[in-house]
Amino acid sequence: MAIKMYKVETDYNSLPGDTIRESLEEINMTQSELAENMGTTRKHISEVISGKTRILPETANQLEYVFDVPAKFWLNLQLQYDDFLEKKRNEKELEENNEYSKKFPYTELSKAGLVPNTKNKSERLDNILKFFRVSSIEVLKKKINDDPLSIGAFRASDDKFKVNNYSLHSWLQAGIIKANNIETEDFDAKKLKTLIPEFRRLSLETDIKKFFPKLQKLAASTGIAVVIVPELPKSRVSGCTRWLSPYPKAVIELSIRQKTHDNFWFTFFHELGHIVLHKKSPFFTINQEYGKTNEEKEADNWAANVLIPKKSWESFIEKGDFTRKSIELFANSIDIHEDIVLGRLQNEKYLDYRQLSNLHVRYKFAK
């Protein structure tokens, strides 16, 4: 970079000091004379030209008087060079750690439109950092190594397989991104309780494209963002309840892992139960004994009794008639869909999961 006829030719990949050196040659001035004219030391000028010392506002103003080039130019020159160095450092870090991107379900995240489609490992890792909204691989690793299940209350299945933290964290982050795009009222616990019957009535509709927008709108009116993020490989989670701090907004994230109507509604009411019963507390950290905590039992019981009133259920069970016709009549009598009755019968072992399976309404997601 040099000054020619008071016009500046820039190369931000070079040291700002190179421009000073070339500019000195243009006006036949030595570094010692520059130091004298700027009222500083020869050592300081040497360090600025070698890059050991950055060009600060004071130095930039002094250079403006000597070379008749605005101070903002010299400051911008330093900032652009700093940016160049930082990008090179970042590229090196990504290149050295690009294998780390393999730990994440990148293909699935890309298909969902959450990250750009690319096969380049460094680009993938860069996109993952942006997806998680973290500034470095070190920060991301710390985030992943923290126990993700301490964030909120989850509803998972009884899988004997270990949860993949990278997939689970990715699933959670996708939920946050979706929830942030939903406008909600401030959380209102009283209003929520009055609308429980309205939520329950929505379960009579089986077309998810019809009932889910209504569910989201109703929940948003109480301060809850409800989102669906299909299960990522080995995330093994069906639902999660948490709060977006510091805003008064709750989030219910569902994966519809079992892909059935009855499971969707039980999971939704289970997560809603945590909000109704357990307020904003961090409920617990889930471990291998998931499902045995008091909070989970309370949420399960609350969900079951909202969907099917306790006395009605006990009366139905006492009769012992679990034929298709009996299930349909009972469901109709309490204004609930028959597959929700079937799902509870199967869950409580009154029927085998293979029995009357054609009563289940199933959902498919595009891959």
What is the chain's pLDDT, residue by residue, as a tens digit (367 residues)?
444 434 444 555 789 999 999 999 999 999 999 999 999 999 999 999 999 999 999 999 999 999 999 999 999 999 999 999 998 988 888 888 889 999 999 999 999 999 999 999 999 999 999 999 999 999 999 888 876 554 444 444 445 557 788 998 999 999 999 999 999 999 999 999 999 999 999 999 999 999 999 999 999 999 999 999 998 988 888 888 888 876 678 999 998 887 899 999 999 999 999 999 987 753 433 334 445 678 888 999 999 999 999 999 999 999 999 999 999 999 999 999 999 999 999 999 999 989 998 999 998 765 5
In the numeric block, the tokens 């860069």 are attached to: 126
How many CA atoms are closer than 13 Å to the CA of 171, on its beta-carbon side? 30
Classify the C-alpha dihedral 163-166-171-176 as positive or negative.
positive
Span 2-96: which CATH code? 1.10.260.40
**In sequence order, what DSSP letters do the residues of 97-146 get, joined into one string?**
TGGGGGGS-HHHHHHTTSS-----HHHHHHHHHHHHT-SSHHHHHHHHHS
pLDDT at position 233: 87
For residue 253, the one-letter residue type is E
Dihedral angle at the C-alpha atoms of 34, 37, 43, 48, nearest 10 degrees? -60
With b meaning 16 or more CB within 10 Å and e meaning fewer, what string describes 284-307?
A: bebeeebeebeebebbbebbbebb
pLDDT at position 268: 95
* Distance between CA atoms of residues 21 and 2, nearest Å: 8
Query: Exposure of 190 by Cβ count < 10 A (0-12 exposed, 13-18 middle, 19+ buried)?
Result: exposed
Rg (CA), the chain: 31
Phi/psi of residue 154, nearest 5 degrees: -115, 150
For the stretch 246-304, pLDDT in tens is: 667 899 999 888 789 999 999 999 999 999 998 775 343 333 444 567 888 899 999 99
pLDDT at position 288: 41
End-to-end CA distance of the chain: 52
Residue-range domain boundaries for the chain:
2-96, 98-145, 148-305, 308-367
- Chain centroid to CA 141: 15
DSSP 355: T
Cα 126 to Cα 120, 242, 258: the distances in Å are 10, 27, 33
- The tokens for 273 are 């139960």
* Distance between CA atoms of residues 69 and 8, nearest Å: 9
**Does the predicted model carry a pTM greater than 0.85?**
no
